[in-house]
Amino acid sequence: MQYPTPGDNFPDYTSSSDWEGRSSDAADTSNDSSFSFGMDLENSDVTFKITSDDPADPGEDGTCTKAPPKKPKPPRPPPPRKSKPDSSSSSSSKSEKVADLVVQKVRWLYREEKKWVPFIGYDSCQMEWKYRQAQLQVKEDEEGMDVDIGTVAVRGGLYEVDVAKRQCHAIYWSDDTVKVMRGTWFYSSGAEPIEEGMANDIEKEHLDLFTRDNPPEPPAQPTKGAQKAMHELYFKDCHVDWYSKDAVYFYSNSTSSRIARSIGNTLGFSKASTSGYKLMRGYPTPASLDDKPPPISHLVFVVHGVGYVTDKKAIIKNCSDLRKSASKAIAKHLPDLISPASTQRVEFLPVEWRSSLKLDNGMVSAITPYKLKGLRVVLNSTGMDVLYYSSPLYRSEIIQCVQAEVNNLYEMFRQRNEGFEPNGGKISIFSHSLGSVIMYDIITGWNPIHLYDHYLSHEQSLHPDLSTVSPDQHDLVAELHQARIRVSGLEKQLLATNQIAAAVNRPKLNFKVENYFCVGSPLAVFLALRGVRPQGNGSISHIIPKAVCSRLFNIYYPCDPVAYRLEPLILRHYSTICPLQIHRFEGKQVAYHTIKTTALPVALKTGEEMKGIQESDAEMLGAGEERTSPGSSTSTSPQHLPRGGAAGFTGMRAWFSKTAEKSPELEALEDMERAILRIENMAESNEKVEEDEMESVELEHRVDYELKESNLGSSYLSALTSHTSYWTAADVGLFVVSQLFPEYAFVE
């Protein structure tokens, strides 16, 4: 079978009588001969079957049977949905010369998830000007050397583009580079760009055709048949036809496209309607300098916690998820922030600190047993960070690394946004898990060495071992005691004279923190173990001074096993008051300070009540559950466990106990259950109920904010997933932006 060439003709219908009695639907063949075909694209086989209405209709034996003569019908026109290039319009504009594309019609794009995404108008104009500047410098450079034209900041100032290399890379973090292209020709349907090299050839050919003093005229078109192209440009796998200045079509040279064109030509369809794609010169929406985000008025540093030692890109993705949640919340609940008149914007920067730390130089991995290697690797990459930070050997290294990273990011940001500080820009911190403890110590300057020195300066009693010396050594003990008092006095004088130097040299931030968001944070436990106790005045000053931080927010899921409340460390009786519930994204939004406080339901504290919970949970396991012998070390029966309430872990045990044979993971879970029960019993036996005399005092600002969990699923499973669910939660993004911009969030 011979395939048609790109210039094949298709019928040209100009008489209105040819359209009478015709359907506009290409599939309507009620008045035509019946035509059907079968096509095998792989073998390029086409089978035709024609049932004709001609007077001589061949029968099965090959003879012709005469039929009454019929009035001949005009051939079927091409479908109206794919109109052929308009020669009249081209002839009317044939004298117009084509100029170079203006800056606004060129659109730059970047690659994201296998598709090209256009830059906003302002960014595209900046890149196009930079590109044309480079082209001009190249023409003026006689030696043809490479010209360094610098980069262009794009995407809200988070990325910059190297126009010469066609690369877009992140400014404030590494390993995030995407491709960039300059778009001049696009498919008219969908505005998808033509590959840049091909588009440049098409543009050059287009300018050669229509920038002449006497542009070529469209060829005379036949009355019937395919319209002729005035110019053709061939590539390896495709070609482009010009029918006029405004009618340019792209055709693929693949087998299936050629077959479609051949069949269409046989049926009388145009070449463009069967396999052609109309092209348009320039992006359909011109780029505008007004298409520009407002300046950044609030900067948020996002600090990760444990578990990022093996994947340093995780915090970049988490920060991106938080940025998307915040943008979604602003678009729905704070639309004035994205209006053309807005002068405020929030931006989030990730702080990745774990991958640059060497710490033990792999010694922990070297001493890790091979048994349960997968579980141990997970524990080493998560829980070990807490042990590192608790160690006096590595704590200072972690503190200095995080502090330096945050200050470096801020310095980079300040240099690129010179108007941020003069215009009163504010800075907040969003920290997760252990990151909240690290940032708290940096903000407040807490140091365990200073705490120990403070303890020694107040300790004047005799050393316990000195009380057992013989009577003839009492004079020596008294002399030692006087020496200690003398040394203590000298230390006080030295510390007093060195107080300013100590304050200057301690790790600190180069800015004041406006809002400190602790998310899934164990900070309350660390403070309690450091001796922080309620002061009874309702202010957070004794936890974090207002001179370095204005507001403190503690956000957590109720099933997050790592998170704890902070309000009882400020006022003890707030342990019986419910934390504020964070608004649902789709729910009603009201100011949080207008919400009244409510008391928590009375908690079960007696051993008998806790035992009842445990027994009821044991009944849920089913009467048919097999129990081991009393002497077995793996016995999980309630009577062989210590007293206390660990109903949650019992339920988790039931979830894991789907098979008769116990797995190593189940045994580890049971050991953990028994250890937790022992700890809970010890805590319950040592608990002392203290009377709070300041129950009439209220907090100046609420600190604890609780997220609402879904009613679906088990709370035990939520405990395993809730700690890492904050990044993508729409409620979290809404809460953050509502606190950063309260004047926009709660306007009736």
According to the model, what pLDDT value does residue 624 have?
Answer: 42
- Beta strands 167-170 and 159-162 are antiparallel
Report the percentage of the chain scoring pLDDT > 90: 38
According to the model, what pLDDT value does residue 716 have?
Answer: 65
538-550 per-position pLDDT tens digit:
889 889 998 899 9
Distance CA 256, CA 102 (A): 37
Looking at the fold, whether 615 and 597 belong to one and the same domain comes out as: no
- Segments forming the whole domain that contains residue 618: 605-622+640-650
On whether the CB atoms of residues 620 and 657 are closer than 8 A, the answer is no
Looking at the fold, whether 132 and 211 belong to one and the same domain comes out as: yes
Q: Which residues pair with 349 in a beta bridge?
A: 301
Q: DSSP character for 470?
A: -
Looking at the fold, whether 268 and 343 belong to one and the same domain comes out as: no
Distance CA 617, CA 638 (A): 10
- Beta strands 107-112 and 64-66 are unpaired
Q: Is residue 666 situated within a structural domain?
A: no
- Beta strands 704-706 and 549-556 are parallel
Q: Is residue 502 situated within a structural domain?
A: no
Backbone angles phi, psi at 276, to 5 degrees: -100, 155
Pick the more confident residue, 50 or 614: 614
Q: What angle do CA 198, 203, 205 make, to 5 degrees?
A: 95
Which parts of 82-165 fold into alpha helices (H)?
87-92, 121-140
Pick the more confident residue, 684 or 102: 102
**Domain count across the chain:** 4
Pick the more confident residue, 135 or 121: 121
Mean local confidence (pLDDT), 386-393: 85
CATH of the domain at 575: 3.40.50
Q: Is residue 578 situated within a structural domain?
A: yes
Looking at the fold, whether 384 and 248 belong to one and the same domain comes out as: no
Q: Is residue 456 situated within a structural domain?
A: no
Looking at the fold, whether 319 and 437 belong to one and the same domain comes out as: yes
On whether the CB atoms of residues 505 and 401 are closer than 8 A, the answer is no
Q: Is the pLDDT score of 153 beyond 80?
A: yes
Q: Which residues pair with 180 in a beta bridge?
A: 110
Work out the mean pLDDT of the chain and round it to a whole number.
75
87: Cβ contacts below 8 Å, ≥ 6 apart: 218, 221, 227, 243, 244
Within 13 Å, how many C-alpha atoms sit on residue 336's CB side? 9
pLDDT band for 406, please (50, 70, 90 cuts).
very high
Q: Of 353, 349, 449, whose CA–CA distance to 399 is shortest?
A: 353
On whether the CB atoms of residues 83 and 274 are closer than 8 A, the answer is no
Mean local confidence (pLDDT), 155-176: 93
Q: Is residue 264 situated within a structural domain?
A: yes
pLDDT band for 714, please (50, 70, 90 cuts).
low
Looking at the fold, whether 252 and 392 belong to one and the same domain comes out as: no
Q: DSSP character for 599?
A: B
CA torsion angle for 706, 710, 715, 717 (degrees, to 10)? -110
Distance CA 587, CA 211 (A): 60
Report the percentage of the chain scoring pLDDT > 70: 64
Distance CA 178, CA 116 (A): 11
Looking at the fold, whether 58 and 94 belong to one and the same domain comes out as: no
Catalytic residues: 433
Q: Is residue 268 situated within a structural domain?
A: yes
Write the DSSP string, 174-211.
Answer: SS-EEEEEEE-EEETTT-PBPPHHHHHHHHHHHHHHHS
State the sign of the Cα–Cα–Cα–Cα dihedral 717, 718, 723, 725: positive
- Beta strands 426-432 and 513-519 are parallel
264-314 per-position pLDDT tens digit:
666 666 666 677 889 999 999 999 999 999 999 999 999 999 877 767 788
Looking at the fold, whether 267 and 367 belong to one and the same domain comes out as: no
According to the model, what pLDDT value does residue 606 have?
Answer: 46
Give CA 6 to chain center in angstroms: 47
According to the model, what pLDDT value does residue 483 have?
Answer: 86
Q: Tokens 């100011």 sit at which residue?
A: 591
According to the model, what pLDDT value does residue 321 have?
Answer: 95
168-225 per-position pLDDT tens digit:
999 999 888 999 999 999 999 888 999 999 999 999 999 999 988 777 777 776 666 5
Q: How many residues does the chain have?
A: 748
Looking at the fold, whether 592 and 515 belong to one and the same domain comes out as: yes
Indicate the pTM of the whole model: 0.70
Of the given ranges (14-23, 154-163, 259-268), which has the lowest mean pLDDT? Answer: 14-23
According to the model, what pLDDT value does residue 486 have?
Answer: 85
Looking at the fold, whether 392 and 363 belong to one and the same domain comes out as: yes
Question: In the listed set 83, 110, 129, which residue is the last one of a domain according to the structure?
Answer: 83
Of the given ranges (122-136, 258-272, 520-534), which has the lowest mean pLDDT? Answer: 258-272
pLDDT band for 447, please (50, 70, 90 cuts).
confident
Dig out the tokens for 273 from the structure: 């309607």
Mean local confidence (pLDDT), 64-84: 48
Distance CA 658, CA 674 (A): 20
Q: Is residue 344 situated within a structural domain?
A: yes
Write the DSSP string, 397-422.
Answer: HHHHHHHHHHHHHHHHHHHH-TTTTT
Looking at the fold, whether 149 and 21 belong to one and the same domain comes out as: no
Query: Residue 178, exposed/middle/buried by CB under 10 A (0-12, 13-18, 19+)?
Result: middle
Looking at the fold, whether 325 and 194 belong to one and the same domain comes out as: no
Distance CA 345, CA 741 (A): 9
Q: DSSP character for 693?
A: T
Q: Is the pLDDT score of 48 beyond 70?
A: no
Q: Is the pLDDT score of 629 beyond 80?
A: no
Q: Is the pLDDT score of 352 beyond 70?
A: yes
Within 13 Å, how many C-alpha atoms sit on residue 233's CB side? 17
pLDDT band for 597, please (50, 70, 90 cuts).
confident
Q: Is residue 494 situated within a structural domain?
A: no
Letter for the amino acid at 434? L
On whether the CB atoms of residues 735 and 705 are closer than 8 A, the answer is yes
The CA-to-CA distance between both ends of the chain, in Å, stands at 73
